[in-house]
Structure 1
Amino acid sequence: MKELINTPYFGLIISILTFELGIYLNKKTKLSLFNPLLVSIVLTIFILTNFNIDLETYNKGGDLLSFFLGPAIVILAVPLYHKIELLKANYKAILIGISAGTLTGILTIIYLTNLFNLDLGISLALIPKSVTTPIGIEICNQIGGISSITVAASITTGILGSVIGPFICKLFGIKNKVAVGVAIGTSSHAVGTSRAIEIGETEGAMSGLAIGIAGLITVFLVPILLIIF
């Protein structure tokens, strides 16, 4: 057993099994609370802490999954390609919506971290929380934040967005498919996009587009806003 734990297969097996269990619970209960990623995270933490398995051992396999984050984001371009005509017809509204959402997210974090007088490293780590994890980590490293906090904040943001995003759209009567996709993708990146794809192909395509554009806007805006504020 110890030999298996000390190999990359352990991290892979635990991650896949817990995620599959999360998918099963989500389908059975139909509850957004049982988000597969959230279930996987909670169960993985439970297993590691209760069996005294250190994070480095788990990461031997976990890092292999992280390697595929980039390709997984790129593949989101496929549904966008299928909706390219819709993108051309609404590109102005889409760009304005993504820009407004990204700017609001960054300014909100800057304001709240200053309000609560948080440590500078934590504040800088939280700024890129609404962009996809690979981009967020790079931004965090460039501005001097704590990357592990960025990862945790990004995942939490994605899960919350996927859970409450569709509910908020219904609450405010937002029925336009393009608007729903842009809102979810801009605020909750890849995790939210997986939920948007479940809602519909158009929502998924627009959400996938929002991930990339929001990431680019964040890369350009963050250094400027940090100088201003």
Structure 2
Amino acid sequence: MPSALEAGTRHPLFGLLLTLGAYRLALWWQRRSGWCIAQPVLTGTLLVVAALYATGLEYDHYRQTSGPLWLLLGPATVALAVPLYLNLGRIRRRLWPLLITIGVGATANVLLVVLLASRLGAETPLLIALAPKSVTSPIAISLAEGLGGSAALAAVFVMLTGVAGALLAPLLLRMARVESPAARGVALGLNAHAVGTSQALQESREAGGFAALAMSLTGAITALLLPLGGPWLLGRLSGAG
């Protein structure tokens, strides 16, 4: 007869309950400690990894039992359009500079990480997983799978990028004396997707609106250009290597 622990981990909703519990505990720890490094996404992820390691469960089982959360990723991302709608007037007045900035930034996000990783000796599967690191998980996973890469690895890089951006971007922006809510929001949404947008919303509604715009356009540009130019770029890099 299986033990209570084994029966619990095999429950169809184990992954869902584990994830929600870990995130709730991470939120409590952030508020209690006040540490900027206690970012809930990072802390919650570490708690989930520790639980899976302690119970010996495989990632596939966790992914299967946390299915409802994966289904909500898309709607949760779309909900970030609310602050975008609330700032449409300000966005219209700066539309062309925003489009140019986000277009250049989204392209540079892919090119710089792929070229740097290639120079450091990364193989093609790793380059594919790294390329969509600055877009939201649903887009990154689809792009990585479409190009023949690892969806799980792409999701890890997306999470790390978001957490690093949310932690470091406010500090770097202060050091650069960037005080405009619009500029801060674009920087966070462009580089740290939904996690950065959440951080921008904590700063102000205006910053959140511009972050949502940057996140959305970065995802759209990457989703359009990466399948078209990605195979060519990876082919050139493989040939050069």
TM-score range for the pair, normalised by the shorter chain length: over 0.9
- Tell me the CA shift for residue 4 of structure 1: 2.9
Residue 81 of structure 2 is matched in structure 1 by 77
1:152 aligns with 2:156: yes
Residue 20 of structure 1 is matched in structure 2 by 24
1:63 aligns with 2:40: no
2:179 partner letter: K
Taking the aligned partners of 1:77 and 1:137, their CA distance within structure 2 comes to: 21
- Tell me the CA shift for residue 9 of structure 1: 2.3
TM normalised by structure 1 equals: 0.94
Taking the aligned partners of 2:33 and 2:152, their CA distance within structure 1 comes to: 32
1:4 aligns with 2:8: yes
Determine if contact 2:147/2:231 at 8 Å carries over to the other structure.
no
Give the number of aligned pairs.
Answer: 229
Taking the aligned partners of 1:56 and 1:104, their CA distance within structure 2 comes to: 33
Q: Deviations over 1:57-103 (max 9, x none)?
A: 32233222111000001101111111110111111121122112112
Gaps of 5+ in 1: none
Q: Which runs of 4+ in 1 moved over 4 A?
A: none
- How big is the alpha-carbon RMSD for the aligned residues of Structure 1 and Structure 2? 1.5
Residue 46 of structure 2 is matched in structure 1 by 42
Determine if contact 2:13/2:66 at 8 Å carries over to the other structure.
no
1:117 partner letter: G
Q: What SS class does the counterpart of residue 224 from structure 2 fall into?
A: helix
Question: Which segment is superposed worse, 2-11 or 128-137?
Answer: 2-11
Share of identical aligned residues, percent? 28
- Among residues 164, 170, 184, which one is paired with 2:168 in the alignment? 164
TM normalised by structure 2 equals: 0.90
Taking the aligned partners of 1:226 and 1:51, their CA distance within structure 2 comes to: 40
Taking the aligned partners of 1:62 and 1:107, their CA distance within structure 2 comes to: 33
2:165 partner letter: G
Determine if contact 1:19/1:37 at 8 Å carries over to the other structure.
yes
Residue 203 of structure 2 is matched in structure 1 by 199
Gaps of 5+ in 2: 237-241
- Among residues 213, 224, 232, which one is paired with 1:227 in the alignment? 232
Q: What SS class does the counterpart of residue 117 from structure 1 fall into?
A: coil
